[in-house]
Chain A
């Protein structure tokens, strides 16, 4: 009878191995959450100094449009998640179709956001009109820049069509979705 071979520490799976997807994408997700979290906390902290002004300023935003945009982004995220499954199953045509639909919803999001910006501009409301708008333009504008980057990234990983690339691109898209889910109630509802 042979004695069992002792397990070396380097042979045991590390806790990092259980993390799904690319480690660097998770570092990016945490970084983005920290940046937007700090921005939203600063927004709420400044609101303490002028709650009436912030409440009045908020009425100029498109609350319904932002609510629709939440549905648009979570649906887009669902399509991206289905694209990851299609990539794992080797179904390239399906994954490309799903990513194209997810990207198209990203464009819908930007169109709705753009119509809100256009209405604010028509009303003479700019970056410096009130602290509320300084923060809301910064936060939603920075988020919209991520949506544009995400659309480009989905196009790139759709062209590559490998499971690893699609998973990484979808993870970025879910991060954009996640940030919006936290940004929407703070800027539009509270």
Chain B
């Protein structure tokens, strides 16, 4: 995947976040969907912009960190 393809995907995912917010969807489904989109965008930035895609060991490490952070966010958001 080129950085230009990654950028196009990031724009599409950002549009999806905005549409999701405008849809009026609420609750757990909204929270999880928004955070999944954020995780996907973060992974693209790490992998394609910062070049971790060529270092699979490091990409996996960052995937784990990202997943744990987003799960923590989801748990705290859903507890409110």
- Chain A contact residues, CB within 8 Å of chain B: 15, 18-21, 29, 33, 37, 40-41, 44-45, 47-48, 51, 54, 63-64, 67, 70-71, 74-75, 77-78, 80-82, 85, 170-171, 174-175, 177-178, 181-182, 184-186, 188-190
Q: Which residue from chain A places its CB closest to the CB of B10 in the assembled complex?
A: A74
Q: Is the CB of A81 within 8 A of B73?
A: no
- A182-B11 contact in complex given A20-B50, A45-B76, A77-B49, C-beta closer than 8 Å: no
Cβ-defined partner of A48 (8 Å) among B7, B37, B79: B79
Q: Is the CB of B73 within 8 A of A41?
A: yes
Main secondary structure of the interface of A (DSSP, over half): helix
B29 at the interface (CB under 8 A from A): no
- Per the CB 8 Å criterion, the residue count for chain B at the interface is 37
Residues in B with CB closer than 8 Å to A75 are 7, 11
Cβ-defined partner of B45 (8 Å) among A44, A64, A174: A174
Q: Is the CB of B51 within 8 A of A70?
A: no
- A71-B14 contact in complex given A19-B55, A78-B3, A178-B46, C-beta closer than 8 Å: yes
Give A175 to B46 CA distance when docked, in angstroms.
9
Cβ-defined partner of B48 (8 Å) among A44, A54, A81: A81
Residues in A with CB closer than 8 Å to B65 are 33
Contact string against A for B residues 22-61, beta-carbon threshold 8 Å, 1 for contact and 0 otherwise: 0000000001001101100110011011111011011000
A-B pairs with lowest CB-CB distance, top 4: A44-B76, A20-B51, A78-B7, A51-B80
Q: Select the residue from B41, B50, B72, B73 with max chain A CB neighbours within 10 A.
A: B50
Give the Cβ gap from B50 to chain A, nearest Cβ, in Å.
5
B21 at the interface (CB under 8 A from A): yes
Q: Is the CB of B34 within 8 A of A181?
A: no
Give A40 to B69 CA distance when docked, in angstroms.
10
Give the Cβ gap from B21 to chain A, nearest Cβ, in Å.
5
Q: Which residue from chain B places its CB closest to the CB of A55 in the assembled complex?
A: B80
